[in-house]
Chains A and B, each alone.
Chain A
Amino acid sequence: MSASLQKGLNAFREVMDAPIASFFSSCVHCGMCADACLFYTETGDPKYTPIHKLEPLRRVWQQEYTLTGRLGRMLGLSQPVSDDELAAWSELVYDSCTLCGRCSMVCPVGNDITYMVRKMREGMSAAGHAPEGIIGATKRTIELGSPMGVKLQALQAQIRGQEAETGLTIPVDVQGADYMALLSSMEIINFPEYLGALARIFHQAGVSWTLSSEAFEATNSGIQIGASDIAREIVARIVTAAEKLQVKNVISPECGHAFTALRWEGPNLIGRPYKFNVIHILELLDELRSSGRLKTSGKEDAALTFHDPCQIVRRGGVVQQPRVLLGAVASDFREMPDHGVMNWCCGGGGGVSANERAEHLRLTSFKRKKSQLDELGVQTMVTACANCRIVLEEGLEHYNMNVKVVGLTELVAEHLVEQESAK
């Protein structure tokens, strides 16, 4: 598809709705969203004020969806949005926004700014102003089936490795299983122990599960770049595979944006509800724990904290489950100063970590997480998103910080009560 200004503006018109009109009508330029955004707090540059990132979209709304704006444009009092303007906004919309949603929690008039940035990206990508890094990831997803170019053979190799590690069989393409598990590319490449952890937990809890050889990856760069047609194709693969295997539930991997894509955007992208439920792995683990199917023993003694992945917690509603799970396996769990739905982003969500152009800004904004950690003084940080994990590890290394990052699912698996009879 060739990109053009016209296509971009049409996409802006396409996404314009009553919530957006009410948000733009309500902004009083108080600037409080800037104080909620780590890209502003860590740089002090006012251009990173969240509401300012939407200026071209606001101008289209004002000029085309309000009487005074239309009059003003007819009288030549305002200039239409230009291609140069969109090009200038690319950095603001993609590099300096992780869609973390913190500004949407703070805005005193109630503007869901993140909702608008997500929608604005539809127009930006249609106009050809998405960054190269995310375009590349998206292209690989379409051509190879994975943003990082992970193929089935790579997964199969990791399956064999984890089967050897755990002594358990990892089921693939099992018809009629209760649960179909998905992975993120990061997990397949960097953290295959997640797969082993699933195998051990599900073995102990007696969960009927499977992977699909046709759709094993949930990462959706289509929603990050803002291309609904591509996002739809990626979700549709999962839906087709799950409905073919007739599974009752699909488990979202820890990865936050995968969860948002699958759980909240997916049915809207394909235009119908699913024939299965989507459950986040942490929700499932907590369910298994509370029903007594998942038993843990022993606790970590070291002081540790939890980094809330934005899309799972603030934008996903899985807030208490990680805390309950951590309580079961750690004796000294400490919350960061701002935690839960008010946590600060790792700085790499929403496609930022795939966007090389944004690297310097991302590492600068990591100072927010750094000061949260410095204040707390713990040396272990648990999280539940493979992308957060990579971004956190890079940031910690950049600032020479002695903090270890651990995946929550793996941590739970380490504390499973081993059942001899099950072997």
Chain B
Amino acid sequence: MSDMDLLLWARGPGLGMAVAIFLFGMTLRLFEIYSLGRKRDLSTPRSNSPGSGWRTIYARSLPHADTWRRSALTIIAGFVFHIGLFIVLLFLLPHIELIRALTGLSWPALPTPLIDLVTVITLISLIVILVHRLMDPVKRFLSGFGDYLVWTVTFLPLLTGYMAYHHLLLDYTLLLALHILSAELLLVVFPFTKLTHTFTLFIARWYNGDIAARKGVAS
């Protein structure tokens, strides 16, 4: 199989399979959560505003002052990495082209040199996050295979994308194929690892806000 064959497979059947596994897996995971339901709360709520859950969905993105002080590195590295990842994912021209081919939706791209800089910053923040995970007693204690797997499958698409753009080490066609394959690997493991938080955190925050708001507390 030549590099070109690999690229064609990755862009064709590979992508189709990865997207199918991702969609099936995430649908299953959401079904597994919601099908459990919850008991109706019979206590008289202080406020029954359905907006409370939604409020926590966005409010929880900004930590309290004391949390900033105690978990500064986790928060800053986390923000930088997430924002960087979304910028690269959603505003690089070839990515927008792919999204348009799949869904018909498109929007303006950011200049490629800017995306390049953001990629470097995101890669560095991911390395910081990994070192922090290995050094911090709590993070190291909580971490298992899944945590390092998820770090790896998030890091690889960024790394291969950066290498392909700069024609580093390997042939461009091969690098592009590897970049697409690494993104497909991310999609395949996504529903079965903690990457699900991308979607489920909205559910979790909503429940948290709803439970607290019944008692009159904005969480």
Partners in one complex: yes
Q: Which residues of A contact B (CB under 8 A)?
A: 16-23, 25-32, 34-36, 40-41, 44, 46-47, 49, 51-52, 65-68, 104-112, 115, 263-268, 271-273, 277, 314-319, 337-338, 341-342
Residues of B within 8 A of A44 (CB): 137
Knowing A21-B32, A111-B204, A314-B217 are in contact, say whether A31-B136 is a contact too (CB < 8 A): yes
Residues of A within 8 A of B142 (CB): 29, 31, 46, 49, 51-52
Q: Of all chain B residues, which has the CB nearest A21?
A: B33
Whether B100 is near chain A, meaning CB under 8 Å from some CB there, is: no
Excluding A40-B138, A52-B141, 14 further A-B contacts by CB distance (< 8 Å) are A17-B39, A23-B207, A31-B136, A31-B138, A47-B141, A49-B138, A109-B205, A110-B205, A112-B207, A112-B211, A115-B211, A263-B43, A314-B217, A317-B215
Residues of A within 8 A of B43 (CB): 263-268, 273
Among A46, A68, A110, A342, contact of B207 (Cβ-Cβ < 8 Å): A110
- Docked-complex contact A65 and B74, CB < 8 angstroms: no
- Docked-complex contact B207 and A22, CB < 8 angstroms: yes
Q: How far is the CA of A49 from the CA of B66 in the complex (A)?
A: 17
- Docked-complex contact A108 and B78, CB < 8 angstroms: yes
Binary per-residue interface labels of chain B (193-217) against chain A in the complex, 1 for a CB within 8 Å, 0 otherwise: 0101100110111111101101111
Residues of A within 8 A of B35 (CB): 18
A37 to chain B, nearest CB (A): 10
B29 to chain A, nearest CB (A): 7
Q: Of all chain B residues, which has the CB nearest A18?
A: B36
Q: Of all chain A residues, which has the CB nearest B37?
A: A18
Residues of A within 8 A of B201 (CB): 26, 108-110
Whether B44 is near chain A, meaning CB under 8 Å from some CB there, is: yes
Residues of A within 8 A of B205 (CB): 109-110
A311 to chain B, nearest CB (A): 10
Q: List 14 A-B contacts (CB under 8 A).
A: A19-B38, A25-B196, A31-B136, A31-B139, A32-B67, A52-B142, A104-B208, A108-B201, A110-B206, A263-B43, A265-B43, A267-B44, A273-B42, A277-B44
Q: How far is the CA of A27 from the CA of B194 in the complex (A)?
A: 7
Most chain B CB inside 10 Å of its own CB: which residue of A16, A26, A46, A342: A26
Knowing A110-B205, A111-B208, A112-B207 are in contact, say whether A25-B42 is a contact too (CB < 8 A): no
- Docked-complex contact A26 and B196, CB < 8 angstroms: yes
Q: How far is the CA of A52 from the CA of B208 in the complex (A)?
A: 19
Binary per-residue interface labels of chain B (166-192) against chain A in the complex, 1 for a CB within 8 Å, 0 otherwise: 000000000000000000000000001
Most chain A CB inside 10 Å of its own CB: which residue of B46, B136, B141: B141
Give the interface size bracket for B toward A. 35 or more
Residues of A within 8 A of B29 (CB): 25, 66
Residues of B within 8 A of A23 (CB): 204, 207
A35 to chain B, nearest CB (A): 4
Spot the interface stretch: B56-64, B86-94, B105-113, B155-163.
Answer: B56-64
Knowing A266-B43, A273-B42 are in contact, say whether A35-B211 is a contact too (CB < 8 A): no
A56 to chain B, nearest CB (A): 15
The 3 closest A-B pairs by CB, nearest first: A317-B216, A110-B205, A46-B141
Residues of B within 8 A of A34 (CB): 138
- Docked-complex contact A319 and B67, CB < 8 angstroms: no
Knowing A26-B197, A28-B194, A28-B197 are in contact, say whether A36-B41 is a contact too (CB < 8 A): no
Residues of B within 8 A of A46 (CB): 137-138, 140-142
Among A16, A27, A47, A264, contact of B197 (Cβ-Cβ < 8 Å): A27
Q: How far is the CA of A189 from the CA of B127 in the complex (A)?
A: 58
- Docked-complex contact B32 and A109, CB < 8 angstroms: no
Among A47, A110, A273, contact of B204 (Cβ-Cβ < 8 Å): A110
Residues of B within 8 A of A68 (CB): 192
Most chain A CB inside 10 Å of its own CB: which residue of B71, B143, B192, B217: B217
- Docked-complex contact A22 and B74, CB < 8 angstroms: no
Residues of A within 8 A of B200 (CB): 22, 25-26, 109
Residues of A within 8 A of B196 (CB): 25-26
Q: Of all chain B residues, which has the CB nearest A344?
A: B66
Residues of B within 8 A of A273 (CB): 42-44
Q: How far is the CA of A35 from the CA of B142 in the complex (A)?
A: 14
Q: How far is the CA of A337 from the CA of B143 in the complex (A)?
A: 32
Residues of A within 8 A of B206 (CB): 110
Among B32, B39, B74, B209, contact of A66 (Cβ-Cβ < 8 Å): B32
Knowing A29-B142, A34-B138, A267-B43 are in contact, say whether A22-B217 is a contact too (CB < 8 A): no
Residues of A within 8 A of B39 (CB): 17, 268
Residues of B within 8 A of A67 (CB): 28, 32
Among B32, B34, B208, B215, contact of A110 (Cβ-Cβ < 8 Å): B208
Knowing A66-B32, A111-B204 are in contact, say whether A106-B42 is a contact too (CB < 8 A): no
Residues of B within 8 A of A40 (CB): 138
- Docked-complex contact B217 and A341, CB < 8 angstroms: yes
Residues of A within 8 A of B211 (CB): 19, 112, 115
B118 to chain A, nearest CB (A): 22
Q: How far is the CA of A36 from the CA of B71 in the complex (A)?
A: 9
Q: How far is the CA of A67 from the CA of B211 in the complex (A)?
A: 28
Residues of A within 8 A of B197 (CB): 25-28, 109
Residues of B within 8 A of A30 (CB): 71, 74, 78, 139
- Docked-complex contact B33 and A106, CB < 8 angstroms: no
- Docked-complex contact B42 and A272, CB < 8 angstroms: yes
Residues of A within 8 A of B46 (CB): 317
Residues of A within 8 A of B219 (CB): 104-105, 341
Residues of B within 8 A of A267 (CB): 42-44
Q: Of all chain A residues, which has the CB nearest B193?
A: A68
Q: How far is the CA of A263 from the CA of B56 in the complex (A)?
A: 23
- Docked-complex contact A21 and B36, CB < 8 angstroms: yes
- Docked-complex contact A35 and B42, CB < 8 angstroms: no
